[in-house]
């Protein structure tokens, strides 16, 4: 196990209090850490936890001047340094060996690279392609003419539907469905008639798609997820949506059909995006925001309807004072005989 000094060196830090030779056996939160564990402190709201923590060592900012009984390691970015240290204690999952498990159902017309791994009870349909080094774990489904690039990982029970494409190093977590039908109906004669969904989904390189997230195939053409984008669990992305590169999309976000999301956009939890609008590059959409119109590049908006975050905060303060204002007005009306 590494010592405090060794971990400090790993992240370019400096031990300035406590024993540098103490051994660390894992990471933990400030309030639950035990002796032998390391944590981090990066926000004043956790100052009380820092004072009482039982962690052996804590990563702190360079200008830290607080109090704690733990050994302190000064670093530029405590959270980032903690992430790097945590990686030292994480055991990578054991990947299955290359080859096709005997219980897998693989059509003779599928193309599977010799270096790929196809696990227990996987179904691979005709015309599907699985690239070198990709791993398709137990119970996953690869549809007809679907394509998986190299170095991808499909966790158990992930689904890649017919014709859809994954780039290289894409991760689909359990229950993710790429290529479900878009939700489209024409109403005629009092009945809803399904609109055929003939398009596909194209996912760029280095994308990660969370558990039970669904990405609909296009009505025609493509639904697109740009390279490097990271999508949390329980996200819904509708047909013909185009998402740019290196976006962050948090849990329970819903994006309606044909919306266009730029590059480096952040959509916080439970944000809702209506269809056929554009979200500009580098914008941040706050949690539970309902976006019904285009958002300019670089904007930071929150609320429903969305407003710039500063304006939204001022509005919340004013709303909280409405009860007091109402009482004052009533008192004035009573005073003047209103």
Size of the chain, expressed as the number of residues it contains: 338
CA distances (Å), origin 232, targets 15, 247, 254: 36, 11, 12
Could you confirm whether 239 is annotated as catalytic?
Answer: yes
Contacts 24+ apart (CB under 8 A), 288-297: 297/262
Q: Are 175 and 198 in contact (CB under 8 A)?
A: no
For the CA atoms of the chain, what is the radius of gyration? Answer: 26
Q: What dihedral angle (degrees, nearest 10) is formed by the CA atoms of 288, 294, 299, 305?
A: -40
Could you count the other beta carbons within 10 Å of the beta carbon of residue 76?
Answer: 11
Q: Which helix (H) or strand (E) holds 308?
A: strand 307-308
- The residues with which 75 forms a beta bridge, in sequence order, are 61
CA angle 111, 116, 118 (to 5 degrees): 85
Percent of the chain that is helix, strand, coil (3-state, to 5): 15, 30, 55
Which one is catalytic: 101, 173, 239, 246? 239
**Residue 69, burial from CB neighbour count under 10 angstroms (0-12, 13-18, 19+):** middle
Could you count the other beta carbons within 10 Å of the beta carbon of residue 327?
Answer: 10
Q: Which helix (H) or strand (E) holds 334?
A: helix 322-336
Distance between CA 75 and CA 84 in Å, rounded?
A: 12
Cβ-proximal residues to 46 (8 Å cutoff; 6+ apart), any chain: 30
Active centre residues (catalytic): 239
């Amino acid at each position: 196990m590494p010592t405090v000094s060794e971990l400090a060196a790993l992240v370019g830090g400096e031990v300035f209090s406590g024993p540098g030779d103490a051994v660390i056996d894992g990471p933990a939160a400030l309030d639950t850490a035990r002796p032998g564990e390391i944590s981090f402190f990066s926000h004043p709201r956790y100052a009380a936890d820092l004072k009482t923590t039982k962690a052996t060592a804590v990563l702190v900012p360079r200008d830290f001047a607080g109090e704690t009984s733990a050994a302190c390691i000064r670093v530029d970015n405590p959270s980032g340094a903690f992430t790097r240290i945590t990686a030292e204690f994480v055991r990578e999952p054991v990947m299955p060996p290359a080859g096709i498990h005997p219980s897998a159902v693989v059509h003779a017309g599928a193309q599977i690279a010799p270096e790929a791994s196809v696990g227990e009870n996987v179904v691979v349909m005709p015309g599907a392609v699985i690239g070198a080094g990709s791993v398709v774990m137990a119970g996953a489904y690869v549809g007809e003419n679907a394509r998986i690039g190299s170095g991808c990982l499909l966790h158990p029970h992930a689904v890649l539907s017919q014709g859809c494409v994954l780039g290289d190093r894409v991760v689909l977590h359990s229950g993710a469905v790429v290529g479900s039908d878009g939700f489209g109906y024409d109403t005629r004669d009092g009945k809803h008639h399904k609109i055929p969904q003939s398009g596909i989904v194209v996912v760029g390189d280095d994308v990660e798609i969370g558990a039970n997230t669904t990405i609909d195939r296009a009505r025609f053409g493509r639904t697109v997820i740009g390279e490097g984008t990271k999508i949390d669990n329980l996200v819904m992305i509708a047909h013909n949506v185009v998402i740019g590169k290196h976006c962050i999309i948090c849990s329970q976000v819903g994006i309606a059909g044909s919306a266009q999301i730029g590059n480096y956009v952040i959509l916080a939890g439970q944000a809702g995006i209506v269809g056929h609008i554009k979200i500009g590059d580098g914008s941040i959409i706050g949690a539970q925001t309902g976006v019904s119109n285009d958002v300019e590049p670089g904007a930071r908006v929150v609320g429903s309807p969305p407003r710039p975050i500063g304006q939204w905060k001022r509005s919340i303060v004013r709303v909280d004072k409405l009860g007091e204002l109402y009482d004052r007005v009533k008192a004035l009306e009573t005073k003047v005989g209103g």
